[in-house]
Structure 1
Amino acid sequence: MLGIRPVMELMFWSFHSVAFDQLVNNAACCRYMSGGLINVPIVMRGPANGGTNVGATHSHTPEGLFAAFPGLKVCSPATPADAKGMMKTAIRDNDPVYVMENTTLYGNVGEVPDPAEGDFLIPLGKADIKREGSDISLIAHGASVLRCLEAAEILTSEHNINAEVVDLRSIRPLDQDAIIKSVKKTNRAVLVDESKPFCGVSAQITTLIQEYAFDYLDAPIKRVCTIDAPAIYSPHVEQDQLPNAERIVAQVLTIA
């Protein structure tokens, strides 16, 4: 790579397929195939979300797809601070890091540490507890974290249910310890994921919880995903297709 650390932008992650061989077969395997002699320190970033009424060909959420390939790292920030901290970490990483952004968050405002206070980095593979709770774990990434926070407020005010919100931040590597610790604490889990339900990120997390925290569960694991169909073009219908606070609350009330 001649010492260069490129940061490339995809207008939409939906367009990844035209470069799939380079993104997966080459970038993910180069260090392994060279016996560690060649690194590929690239960052690919861009929108990977629905909810903007741009149709099925511009609304894919492929984080679970890329996380399935060893050699790739995948993250999905939910806040301005996380976006900055993970991007800086991604640029410093010697492996390919794919940052799945959400265009509906681009206008959000939030506190970001002052550069004068030192270099601000968020390690990949480190989840964040966005809200402490004791009754149920809401586990999500990206914009779904904000929907979980909205749902948690409704659950507290209207149903006296204290929900913990776990922000994965990084899909691969995945902070398995944080997930299991939260579920062992609350004994219930609802996984919220803008991916489609079949082979989505939440499906993988369901397996982890079943393997490592099954005896701590007081109820079945529930999921709230994007309804399993291509992105709907109609604005108000697409909003119902995506995870939202109302759907999350409804799932929580089936087990808590």
Structure 2
Amino acid sequence: MTPSPIRWLFALCAASLALASAGTASAQRTAGTLDPSIAVARSVEILCAPRAIWLAPELPTTVAGSQEGRAKRMFGPGEAVILDAGRNRGLAVGAEFFIRRQYRSRVESVVPRGEMPAVLHTAGWLRIVAVEEEMAIATIAHSCGDVLIGDYIEPFEAVDPPAGSPLAEADYASAARVLFTEEGGYTAGPRRFVVIDHGREDGVVPGLRFTLFREILAAPGLVNNLGEAFAVLVDDRTATVRIFGTADAVYAGDRLAAHR
């Protein structure tokens, strides 16, 4: 009997497990770390941080299952998964990809209706270990959370941990706003990540320092400084920042004054 493509691929996958295990360590090293005294976050933390997305990808390659079929819907580090594309979409053995999903933020009131981007969640990253024309097998090299059937892949790009910029005059007049916190939520605390509504177009660069503050509604013009934040991921219209030194929770809608 001629073995099915799936059985053949999983046979190759099983033969590659030792290499895949070594690949996991390699992926971790690719992410890298820097001395936390000069970097505001480790690379692996930045790679797992939330960000905003405005448009869904067209015809993405997705996690379609495993050798256990669709009965298993959740995966973790070291596990093998089936992708619903192969050489037909340029996949090759050894290539690394982010594993991502997107969903609506639970916060809607901080921006006008229809102007809230979706949350881009990185579930981890994987490495291709076997490829056919229209399917591939990959092993999960690192997980930031559960990997689910339906998650899609995008090319992996390493990041360098930015050093925080020095103290300077805080620009309260052109303050950014917290759009949502991790998982698209309302609140965050120290050393957590939030997404803001300023990005590259507003002069934000990795490492830029912000003063976090909250406007006092009963006293227009007065603010309550909450702590600091530093940009770690910067897109055109939004950025992901990490919170430091807050004595209070940070909420969606709180403001950030850049130090320039």
TM-score by length of 2: 0.25
Higher alpha-carbon Rg: 2
Task: Name whichever structure is richer in strand by fraction.
Answer: 2
Please state which structure has a larger fraction of its residues in helix: 1
Normalised TM-score (structure 1) = 0.25
